[in-house]
Structure 1
């Protein structure tokens, strides 16, 4: 007899924070033996005729996903309290999962990357060269209206990234605005992050209160994150991962800290043993209305497909670059040759060989 017991597990809990964060918190039904599917019913006796009713159970949704997969995680500062504010993708991360779905690579694209954003009919955007972060804003516009469409902005962002990287299809992704991120980390009981260098907060005081804004800068005592392993609650995790000022490599160091947060949340979510539906639901509820999953399939499909992927299977990759300008003015960032070569290896399915030849791109922190 088939067991009616259903256990739940968080398959992936990926969150990145800058001015905002993006998260995927999706669950999958798992069988009592932890295999990811419930045990099959005993088959009919050898002499019994095979009937349609006795046929094998239908495959679980997502069982047909075998990879490779490219998933986009876009952190968006929607600033919903400001009328007419256009959302920008202030954190842009991609997770490439290799065929077989047992290994993956996590990397960031600079928010200020200078790219060609294609024309987008839904918003009336004619196309042109801009910073990558602006693709979300240009795509979210609704001609003749003050309201914004985040899903349209995300669509233009994915098209822009596909054109730039050569990745033909981004299968799925998620958007999480600022409001749900700290609640998610707190719901998990905080996370552990190994701080690589002293980070001073531009935005928060040591007790978590916001610093006072004076002109274009902040004043008052600052929260400080010293080197070493640190336990961070929600506001600290957000604050640590959004800092770039005062760091030797600016936004590139911030991208590293964002990837640290991704793996820290995934470690905590999977290591905590979220095995009952009520506990899992409390985590998802903490995200409230801020979680928006986008793609042609249900989140549970990807949850099932990625059920065997662990934090240890995810390699974090650093892509460096430098600023570009015109007439003394700053226009944005451009990736260096090694970083562009990595993107080519993603599109051509040759990542492992490329990183073997360029081990300096692998994050060791």
Structure 2
């Protein structure tokens, strides 16, 4: 059993930490949909005024709107849906329905692959293009009880690169390592990794866990974390300092209540105690300061959690419809090996966690030495945390 200081429950919004860590919780306007919008008009050979047709899904390109209509109408979607979605839709108790009034779509892209989220009341449909396919969602209005979100448990590694402006984003040390998990049953967790954990590296030998990315790129960092934790993490998403600041500033800052005044000495900034709206520069300073904290890097990890939860609140309030815009924005400043389907279903799944089934922890350990290097020893505390997270849940 993990002690409350290292393993506590947090609100459901903490689950959205993944979106924040991976995407900066940016809710920028999505890109215009490829292929045009569902114009809702027809023309006649005689040139008479076109008949007006109310769009079934506001903001959706015509082919996506047609696919959503087929879904609600009870049609066999065939290759226009993945296997998990087809299985979930077999539960439909209301086939032949029309698309609920007020349905709307947000369309964006994940590294040039079109993505979309369609909301209709409490229903959410997730789709990936360019030939639209339904890859997940949930449909209570149709009597579907099982959400299609990639199953579970699932984990993603969120990386913050130490690269400065002009440096290679993915060949620098990992400044932040967070493993985000979902158990597929309404629970999840976020596990921070102490940067100085001394572990076997996928590139060979042993070293501090955050050195793997500098030596072999994010794939090597992912493999190193997989081996250290024993968790089959799906993939990674990495962002750097400049990208992080840009995403924060693009959304107008991050509202947060700072528990204690922080002298961010490295950035020559003071973050005052109390309610604040942090700019990108201030948020980065708050997330990175450790030298003036009494518990050093562990306190730094705690600050990152506070900041990410505050940003998650902003993202959570926007709802799943904001996911395409967030993924689009991240794609301009970050890198990832996750497919559009993997990222879209994972990000959407964060909105379905139960507040009592989400926890946080930090894989820490006692300090030690490896030659002249100060390190964190991978010990029993971290191993218990890894074992606890094997079901995707830290609550």
TM category, shorter = 0.5 to 0.7
CA distance in structure 1 between the aligned counterparts of 2:193 and 2:167, rounded to whole angstroms: 27
Residue 195 of structure 2 is aligned to residue 111 of structure 1: yes
Residue 19 of structure 2 is aligned to residue 14 of structure 1: yes
Tell me which residue corresponds to 1:334.
377
Tell me which residue corresponds to 1:122.
none
CA distance in structure 1 between the aligned counterparts of 2:258 and 2:72, rounded to whole angstroms: 50
Q: Is the 8 A contact 1:201 1:223 kept in 2?
A: yes
* CA positional deviation for 1:232: 1.2
Q: Is the 8 A contact 2:258 2:276 kept in 1?
A: yes
CA distance in structure 1 between the aligned counterparts of 2:169 and 2:381, rounded to whole angstroms: 39
| Residue aligned with 2:152, SS | coil
Residue 286 of structure 2 is aligned to residue 257 of structure 1: no
Q: Is the 8 A contact 1:88 1:133 kept in 2?
A: yes
| Residue aligned with 2:155, SS | strand
- The equivalent position to 2:336 in structure 1, one of 293, 298, 302, is 293
Which residues of structure 1 form unaligned runs of 5+?
A: 1-10, 44-53, 120-126, 140-152, 205-221, 356-365
* CA positional deviation for 1:25: 6.2
Pick the structure with more helix per residue.
Answer: 2
* CA positional deviation for 1:85: 9.8
Aligned length: 281
* CA positional deviation for 1:128: 0.3
* CA positional deviation for 1:202: 1.6
Larger deviation, residues 316-325 vs 304-313: 304-313
| Residue aligned with 1:170, SS | coil
Residue 213 of structure 2 is aligned to residue 136 of structure 1: yes
CA 1:98–1:286: 2 relative to 1, 3 Å: closer
Q: Is the 8 A contact 1:61 1:304 kept in 2?
A: no
* CA positional deviation for 1:286: 5.2
Q: Is the 8 A contact 2:197 2:364 kept in 1?
A: no
CA distance in structure 1 between the aligned counterparts of 2:356 and 2:281, rounded to whole angstroms: 26
CA distance in structure 2 between the aligned counterparts of 1:320 and 1:350, rounded to whole angstroms: 19
Tell me which residue corresponds to 2:61.
none
Residue 286 of structure 2 is aligned to residue 240 of structure 1: yes
- The equivalent position to 2:263 in structure 1, one of 180, 200, 206, is 200
CA displacement 1:72-107 (0-9 Å, x = unmatched): 00111233525899411110001111132x221111
Q: Is the 8 A contact 1:15 1:24 kept in 2?
A: yes
CA distance in structure 2 between the aligned counterparts of 1:276 and 1:133, rounded to whole angstroms: 31
CA 1:84–1:304: 2 relative to 1, 3 Å: closer
CA distance in structure 2 between the aligned counterparts of 1:326 and 1:24, rounded to whole angstroms: 38
Residue 184 of structure 2 is aligned to residue 184 of structure 1: no
| Residue aligned with 1:78, SS | coil
Tell me which residue corresponds to 1:71.
156
* CA positional deviation for 1:311: 7.7
CA displacement 1:116-162 (0-9 Å, x = unmatched): 1134xxxxxxx1011111100110xxxxxxxxxxxxx1111111111
| Residue aligned with 1:200, SS | strand
| Residue aligned with 2:237, SS | strand
| TM-score scaled by length of structure 1 | 0.66
Tell me which residue corresponds to 1:269.
315
Tell me which residue corresponds to 2:88.
none
| TM-score scaled by length of structure 2 | 0.61
- The equivalent position to 1:162 in structure 2, one of 222, 226, 248, is 226
Which residues of structure 2 form unaligned runs of 5+?
A: 1-15, 34-55, 59-66, 86-133, 137-147
CA distance in structure 2 between the aligned counterparts of 1:305 and 1:260, rounded to whole angstroms: 21
